[in-house]
Amino acid sequence: MAAGAVIAAACGGNAAVDQPADGGDDASLATAEDRTEEFRNRFGLAWPNTDFAKHAVEPAELVSGGPGKDGIPAIDEPTFVSVDEAASFLDDREPVIVVEVNDEARAYPVQILIWHEIVNDTVGDVPLAVTYCPLCNSAIGFEREVGGTIHDFGVSGLLRNSDLVMYDRQTESWWQQFTGEAIVGSLTGTVLDFVPASTVSFADFKTAHPAGLVLSRDTGFDRDYGRNPYVGYDDTTDPFLFQGEADGRLPPAERVVAVELNGETVAYPFSALTDRLVVEDAVGGRPIVVFFQPGTKSALDASSIVDSRDVGASGVFLPEADGHALTFRADDGKTSTTKRAAGGTCWVSQSMARSRARN
């Protein structure tokens, strides 16, 4: 499972659009037309406004997850409460997805997102989609403005490689949640801008942002918030409807911190971070530091999230501040950081360190 933080996401580029260039041979034309027709035959009734002539994936890669289009309802008019009010329904150790934009911080409890998967919101005057895929345990934030138009996102009911496929209501293009890329429809090849989104405990959010806001249970829907509908999924060896090639280096449900910089991608397993707490490394030629701290519950273990096991939380940062390079080490439950250039030492909580990096 992907969890924690991504400090750099895949950059945009020209994805494959299955329309043959002028002068293409008849075979490639037939293949493109055949795929388009297959999309229309399989999905056209529920998706009359989707431009299936543009697609970057095969039709067979997309499968129904069970609920149909909007069967899992996105939250379009989110309401928020203070941290004190949220304490009436949130345990300190429950996971929340934290987004901070232009000095405005908000927490989205996973106990709510697990039932809705997408919140269309505006934070710090920036239109955002805060997304969570339970099958991947991936919490990712995106900017909703594309080409000067603000888009609203919903849950398509489809999966690709066991990951949420979103759709935008303006063009009904389909988007892969894990990459933020449009894979079917008129916007195929477009990649959404990532916004830092960290999964930490409610206690850590309260400490870091005492004036921050928390998504309310007053969503307009009747759901059993606090209950986990994916009991035992932490230990699955067979991810739901996963059709990709399995990578045997780690168990399928292992939580990892994924970092991509300058074309290089590295995954840091939580099982290794539990013993290390602090990992200094370089990815894509850039130094990074990965923090780990226990104290955050899993949302995918027991039937009640508050009764689930402690899986911890992580964050990834560029180890620099005010023009100074920093080094870090774990010491007596704290994280020590030392300025290489200017000297001096300060103490920083692992889950509340700040840098200019995405975390």
Evaluate if residue 21 carries a pLDDT over 50. Answer: no
pLDDT tier for residue 105 given thresholds of 50, 70 and 90: very high
How does pLDDT run across 213-226, given as a tens digit for each residue?
999 999 999 999 99
Q: What is the pLDDT of residue 20?
A: 32
Q: Which residue has the higher pLDDT, 15 or 181?
A: 181
Residue 206: strand, helix, or coil: helix
The mean pLDDT of the chain is: 85
Q: Of 153, 235, 161, 194, give the one whose Cα is nearest residue 12.
A: 194
Q: How far apart are the first and last CA of the chain?
A: 17
Q: Average pLDDT for residues 100-114, to the nearest whole number?
A: 97
Evaluate if residue 350 carries a pLDDT over 50. Answer: no
Evaluate if residue 22 carries a pLDDT over 50. Answer: no
How does pLDDT run across 30-49, given as a tens digit for each residue?
588 899 999 999 999 999 99
Q: What is the pLDDT of residue 26?
A: 55
Q: Average pLDDT for residues 81-91, to the nearest whole number?
A: 97
Contact 97, 132 (CB under 8 A): yes
Residues 49, 143: Cα–Cα separation, whole Å: 23
Q: What's this model's pTM, rounded to 2 decimal places? A: 0.84
Q: Which residue has the higher pLDDT, 53 or 32?
A: 53
Phi and psi based region of residue 209 (left: phi greater than 0; alpha: psi -120 to 50; beta: remaining): beta
How does pLDDT run across 255-279, given as a tens digit for each residue?
998 888 999 999 999 999 998 899 9
